[in-house]
Structure 1
Amino acid sequence: MKTILVDGYNVINSWGELNIIKDDVSLESARDRLIEVLIEYGEFTNCKIIVVFDAHHMQGNIGEKIKMYDKFTIVYTKSGETADSFIERYVNKIGRKSEVCVVTSDNLEQQVVFQRGSTRMSSIEFYNDVKKIRAKISKKAEKISSEKKYNRLEDRIDKKIMEKLDKIRKNL
């Protein structure tokens, strides 16, 4: 199974809609929205997603790993640790053993993870991929919705026949 490591704040600052949420509402709201998008993306693509948020400026932070679903994990780095260093360490550990893709627009980080056996994708490339997946999800939802219309008898037969059947039913 492919693992996608996402530099959370890098993505938030790169995606227009998330950047607007960050500036107009709050950073927490932008994080929550990114998490929603990543969960949906991961479920549809059957990828393991690990989103990493820097917490290295927060004194005394011991770091936190939250496994929300089987294939989705949120990591808040510990004090003094950047998302980049966490991602590099993770890629060092499994980069050549399994398929790993790192999402970041940090060019130096992209070069480092590539050298360690991972593929890389810029935040904007990932945004475009997410948009494509969202379109596929919408199309699939529409198809399911339209198929459900035909599960009811009144949706499948002529209106006049339905009226006749209704009269027969009421007379019994």
Structure 2
Amino acid sequence: MKIVFVDGYNVINSWPNLASIKEHNFEGARQKLIDILQNYVSFKGYKVFLVFDAHMVKGALENKERIGDLIVVFTKYGETADSFIERSVNKIGRKSDVCVVTSDSLEQQLVFQRGATRKSSLEFFHEIQNMNHGITRRINSNYADGRNLIEDLVDKNILNTLDKMRRNG
């Protein structure tokens, strides 16, 4: 399974739609990014760590909230999102397919040296847009040809499991 680390505030500041939300409602921008990444996780089947800095919040402890294969992390006091991501990539090493989403060029170089691929926040923005367009096209084509089959909407592994359950009683 591919593992993706997303520098949350870097993405919020880089994406035009989230940056404009942030100007009026910082928590709203965070929640919108969480919602977007929940869809991304569901569509791609990746494990995603969305990492937010809490290094300036005195007394803050590392906090992780799991939403399916999306893990939202707030770093502890004194730890940046970059250092959390570097530490995590070091632990994983080259055993897994790891991608880091950030526009911080130094961070991109460091994680690349540790075996991870890197993607800028704007590249990720375009990937998300393309994914959303693909989902829309898929839905529209299913409606256009009169097909509304559950097998078009459900993961193949889940369908296979349900079929085995049906056969075995």
Normalising by the residue count of structure 1, what TM-score does the alignment of the two structures yield?
A: 0.82
Alignment of 1:3-152 (within 5 A): 3-23=3-23, 25-69=24-68, 71-146=69-144
Give structure 2 stretches of 5+ with no counterpart. 150-169
Give structure 1 stretches of 5+ with no counterpart. 152-172
Give the deviation of 1:114 after TM superposition.
0.3
Q: Quick one: structure 1 residues 80 and 141, their matched pair in 2 at CA, closer, same or farther if it must change by over 3 Å?
A: same
Please give the root-mean-square deviation of Cα atoms over the aligned residues, in Å: 1.5
Give the deviation of 1:95 after TM superposition.
2.9
Tell me if the contact between 2:13 and 2:19 (Cα under 8 Å) persists in the aligned partners: yes
Give the deviation of 1:150 after TM superposition.
8.0
Letter in 2 for 1:91: V
Normalising by the residue count of structure 2, what TM-score does the alignment of the two structures yield?
A: 0.84
- Aligned to 1:6, the other structure's residue is in SS state strand
Give the deviation of 1:26 after TM superposition.
0.9
Give the Cα–Cα distance (whole angstroms) in 1 for the partners of residues 108 and 76 of structure 2: 22
Q: What number of residue pairs does the alignment pair up?
A: 149
Give the Cα–Cα distance (whole angstroms) in 2 for the partners of residues 123 and 97 of structure 1: 24
